[in-house]
Amino acid sequence: MAIKLENVGIAVRDLEAAIAFFTDLGLILVGRDTVSGEWADTAVGLDGNHARIALLQTPDGRGQLELFEYIHPDAIESDPTRPNDIGMHRVAFSVDDIDKALETAARHGCHPLRGVATYGDAYKLTYLRGPSGILLMLAEKLHND
């Protein structure tokens, strides 16, 4: 059986703000749509499912995010995920300049949870909160092997 990761879906409180954040970081907006109807109810498992969505991808075309803002049912606010919570809790991106990426994130009010760490002599990395409390990891490879 073949398997391929298509995208990671993330519910956001403000689709436009999330698109602005991720495109400023370097992702490319591939498309937008509004989804609803019986097929959406069945696929997602929510009656009356109605959402605005946007698909973004990395410049190399290998990674995609699907962002969605619920119109109906109302989105449910919850506490932001912590790094040690069980379940999916972060999206990781490789960047070629972590300092520049953090400057971009800061323009959106997003800052590292604690700081930038160095993992051996391999990576500089940090966790930060993105739009809607999304937990992100940014990592810069220190050497091109």
Residue whose token pair is 């379940």: 87
The pLDDT of residue 3: 66
Structure confidence at residue 4 (pLDDT): 80
The string of DSSP letters for 28-92 reads EEEEEEEEESHHHHHHHT-TT-EEEEEEEE-TTSS-EEEEEEEEESPP---PPPPTTSSS---EE
Tell me, what's the pLDDT at 145? 64
3-state secondary structure of 10: strand
pLDDT mean values, one per 10 residues, the chain (145 residues): 81 96 97 93 89 96 94 88 79 93 96 93 92 91 82
Longest CA span, the chain: 52
pLDDT at 118: 94
